[in-house]
Amino acid sequence: MNITFQFQDNIQFVKAVYYNFHPIPLPKPFKDGTGGMGKYAPEQGCIELYDSEGACAHLCVGRSFVKNILPMILDGQTRTYSQWRDTLYWKIRNSGFQSGQAVEVGQLDLMMLDILAQRAGKPLHRFLGAEKDWAAAYKGGGSLLLEDEELTDDMVRYVHEGYQTVKFKVGSSDGKDMERDIRRLRKVREAVGSKIGIAVDANQRWNVEEAYRFAKLAEPYELAWFEEPIHAHDMNGIKELKELGVSMPLAFGESMRIYYAYETYAEKGVDHLQPSIGRMSRIDDILKIRDLARRKGITFSSGGRIYLNAIFGCLYGEDEMIEYHEPISKPVGKYTLFQPEEKNGRFYCQPDLPGNPQRMDLEKLEKDGLLESKKIFYTE
């Protein structure tokens, strides 16, 4: 396997503390074309993972991480970074590399990188080789539950905040009301003007015929990209859309967990690759996908929680963006410490705090009644 990160530093895990959350409510329910996020943010809890040298990695992970991963790493063994992730990667192979367990191995990968950066005394983005402390961004939102005017107001606000590309959801009424989607697209285009990029995300709502029909209706509005119009695994459907003559860029990637899928995307005609930080089975796949996009001359961006996304965005070029999904990210952001600075369509990372400095604000979570329990795990 072609590995980008091959760190040989030894790591022994000695302790983990898991904080279990009550559901974190969203200010407004959010809906996309295939159901969306509902009333709550997806975060279930966070973990503090300690090594024998005193470093402590922090990350939001689900309860299954505690069940699946901790027994495999709190075993008293000392392994190199590469040995840990290769051992776990192949242990979960029968669950599949698109599985939740594969994602959890990728989350451990992130935490080990955090530990190594702390040992080096460097911010994680600088440890990974970034030469700048900022990432270019676009801003997404646009729940299907918003009225036309609310949607338009949000997109205009995003532009006033300095974003040159904005994104919203399509697939109204379970994908059956394209007239509403196109009307909203027309209103947003009229409101933001011709120089702002507008992208739409169907969240895999349609089949090939329906997606083609929407693309033809949307042509006058010059979309920056059309995101996941059909099932994310329908590779030949993507090829068919291109052969039918869909002119706008097609974007896919947030539903995939492994690099090889992106090679197939590029072969089938995807114009814009979109991996998601925190959802990959191996974190260096993010950079391999970035480099694949560069070789193929196609667009690259990444999604995920904003601080992790910004850290990796510091490794991208000026035209390789990260997504800031405000309706889901902002409500969680108020319960975090060390948010990146948002300014004029960019996010700026802390230049002098070692590792990944973001932490959940446990005191605020507890004060607001959202911290359900705490459990400590030690090496067996």
Q: How far apart are CA 260 and CA 258, in angstroms?
A: 6
| Residue 380 pLDDT exceeds 90 | no
| Residue 1 pLDDT exceeds 80 | no
pLDDT digits (tens, 9 = 90+) for 348-368: 999 999 999 999 999 999 999
| Residue 256 pLDDT exceeds 50 | yes
Q: What is the pLDDT of residue 175?
A: 84
For the chain, percent of residues with pLDDT exceeding 70: 99
Q: Which two tokens stand for residue 310?
A: 């910004």
Q: What is the pLDDT of residue 4?
A: 82
Q: What is the pLDDT of residue 289?
A: 98
Question: CA 61, 63, 65 angle in degrees (round to 5)?
Answer: 60
40, HSE (Cβ side, Cα atoms, 13 Å): 8
Torsion of CA 103, 370, 54, 88, to 10 degrees: -20
Q: What is the pLDDT of residue 174?
A: 86
For the chain, percent of residues with pLDDT exceeding 90: 96
Q: 10-125+358-378, which class in CATH? A: alpha beta
The one-letter code for the residue type at 273 is L
Buried b (16+ CB within 10 A) or exposed e, 63-101: eebbebbbebbbeeeebebeebbbebbeebeeeebebeb
Average pLDDT over residues 254-281: 97
Q: CB of 167 within 8 A of CB of 184?
A: no
| Residue 37 pLDDT exceeds 90 | no
| Residue 306 pLDDT exceeds 80 | yes
| Residue 257 pLDDT exceeds 60 | yes
pLDDT digits (tens, 9 = 90+) for 68-104: 999 999 999 999 999 999 999 999 999 999 999 999 9
Q: How far apart are CA 374 and CA 380, in angstroms?
A: 19
Confidence of residue 2 (pLDDT cuts 50, 70, 90): low
| Residue 342 pLDDT exceeds 60 | yes
CATH architecture classification, 129-348: Alpha-Beta Barrel (3.20)
Q: Are strands 359-360 and 371-378 parallel, antiparallel or unpaired?
A: unpaired
pLDDT digits (tens, 9 = 90+) for 182-207: 999 999 999 999 999 999 999 999 99
Average pLDDT over residues 283-302: 98
Which residue ranges does the chain devote to CATH 3.20.20.120? 129-348
Which residue ranges does the chain devote to CATH 3.30.390.10? 10-125+358-378
Confidence of residue 62 (pLDDT cuts 50, 70, 90): very high
Q: What is the pLDDT of residue 221?
A: 98
